[in-house]
Amino acid sequence: MAWRSASRPLRQSGVTTSVTPDTTARHVGLALFALATGGFAIGTTEFVTMGLLPQIADGVGISIPTAGHVVSAYAIGVVVGAPVIAALGARTGRKRLLLGLMAVFVLGNVLSAVASSYEFLMAARFLTGVPHGAFFGIGAVVGASMVPASRRAWAVSMSMVGLPVANVIGVPLTTLMGQKLGWQAPFLAVGGLGLLTLVAVWFWVTPQPVGSDVNVRSELSALARPQVWMALLVGMVGFGGMFATYSYITPTMTELAGFSEAAVTIVLAVYGVGMTCGTVIGGRLADRNLMASLYSGLIAVMVVLGTFGWLAQTKPTAFVGVFAMGFSASILVPALQTRLMDVAHEGQSLAASLNHSTLNIANALGAWLGSVVLAAGYGYEWPSRAGAALAAAGLILALVSGLMDHQTRPHHRRLG
């Protein structure tokens, strides 16, 4: 069954779709599965490093704190790569760009696996992080383009669902693999997943010709739009609160709830299940009412973080709190990604890619905030409460952005 009977592109709310009679539900499903597979590989390589720091430190002859810089190198690659690739690749067909990004990702993981020195490994992890944001951002634009505008947030959520699923399946399995077979094995396994993604994208994602009006300047035009910056700030501040808690989830669970360190793996899997459910449901909610889902998601994050310190006091309620934290935060992701694509107009790829740069900045912001709270002598129940304040700030920014929409719409109608 075709999604739409017309063959001409559809443009609504700043998102261009290319739905044709040949765009069947099965074809869309396979294309989204290809994108999700790439997201699964990316999510696995991003988070498995954190669980293998002792093995990596021994492998290249460094201390565990120094090995933590390997995680930072990947994050810096994400922050730098997302906007640069999305802008400079504006004239490249999106399918071709996705294939190129995944090829770089495979190379980065293979180089990580064969690294014999700290410096080489740092460079390899930076290279591996470079395609991260651009792949998710461009993949979201591609996914949204294949369905009617009324289902674009759902398509965005499906293109990104591999990332939370990686936290449930990919990270635990590759962590175990690294402990049994050596820290290099997970990177080789992820490289193999990257090759599978290359094949899947090649066969299942439809080529999308680049319009004559698309270029570096048109992509950079997104940066001149205040609403793009507002959406990026909402993500940076709103998600910063969640990372203030998640960055210290292991000591929080062991100190407050009484879990053993080994049992924390189960806790993290519960968080991943919450993320997966939130991503799927968040896409459907955003299709019904984008801004309302954004507001409600931020309110949910604020409430969950505000109560997390109490929930973490016992094992049963800690599981509830961890699931709720993953669920509430992930509801925001499809809404934010779609919002950025809506307000960016001609610069959709750049804006959607920047979302992942800002989420990595939110990670650093949240971790820093949590460290400040703990260094001040407060217990592990307090980083989440400070995070709730950040979520409240994100909600205020989102409300201001919504008011800006209402102020500009009458003006556009008068011009028309």
What domains can be seen in the chain, in order of their start residue? 22-203 (1.20.1250.20), 221-408 (1.20.1250.20)
pLDDT surpasses 60 at 414: no
The pTM of the whole model exceeds 0.85: no
Q: Residue 215 — pLDDT band, cuts 50, 70, 90? A: low
What pLDDT does 2 receive?
40
Q: Comparing 176 with 44, which gets the higher pLDDT?
A: 44
What pLDDT does 214 receive?
61
Q: Residue 129 — pLDDT band, cuts 50, 70, 90? A: very high
The whole-angstrom separation of Cα 286 and Cα 151 is 9
pLDDT surpasses 50 at 5: no
pLDDT surpasses 80 at 166: yes
Comparing 11-15, 169-173, 253-257, 324-328, which segment has the lowest mean pLDDT?
11-15
Mind listing the pLDDT tens digit for each residue in 242-259? 888 887 888 888 889 998
pLDDT surpasses 60 at 9: no
Q: Comparing 22 with 269, which gets the higher pLDDT?
A: 269
Comparing 8-12, 51-55, 143-147, 343-347, which segment has the lowest mean pLDDT?
8-12
Q: Comparing 342 with 2, which gets the higher pLDDT?
A: 342
What pLDDT does 212 receive?
57
